[in-house]
Amino acid sequence: MKNRRQILQQSAALAGLAATGAWLPASALAYTKEAFEAKSVADALKAIGAGTPTESKEVTITGPDIAENGAVVPLSVATSLAGVKQLMLLVEKNPNAVVAIFNTSEFVEANFTTRAKLGQSSDVFAIAVMNDGKALFAKKEVKVTLGGCGG
């Protein structure tokens, strides 16, 4: 039977592990700072080591045609392709192009939804980066009536 002191020590150790992220796999902690600081779609792809993107019907992006508030625009990206390493959401005219990068594997269904800030009407790109470095994309224009990035 454990006493109160042992339970508190184990709880503190578990809280320390959770706070440092030691229980997460290294791939979950990895992110490319250069990609998130990129000012253009091309710079973001270059930062993660992807090739020139090609348009594909296998990559889908969903979102509103007109967003009344650019501060909270719901966007979804999905693909049924095998061998996808990452799915990215990028906004062409935002101060920083990358909205999100989702790391995937064969054990993860490549279908993600998030909310993004759009400063102005812009093309939004969903890019699937394959294991071999190929990049496939889909594009959608989203018109913003009230900018979300200070505009």
- Predicted local distance difference test score (pLDDT) of residue 24: 54
Answer whether residue 26 shows pLDDT above 70. no
Find the helix or strand (DSSP H, E) in which 37 lies.
helix 33-37
Coil, strand or helix: which one is 63? Answer: coil
- The alpha carbon of 59 is separated from its chain's Cα centroid by a whole number of angstroms, namely 14
Answer whether residue 81 shows pLDDT above 50. yes
Answer whether residue 96 shows pLDDT above 60. yes
Answer whether residue 34 shows pLDDT above 70. yes
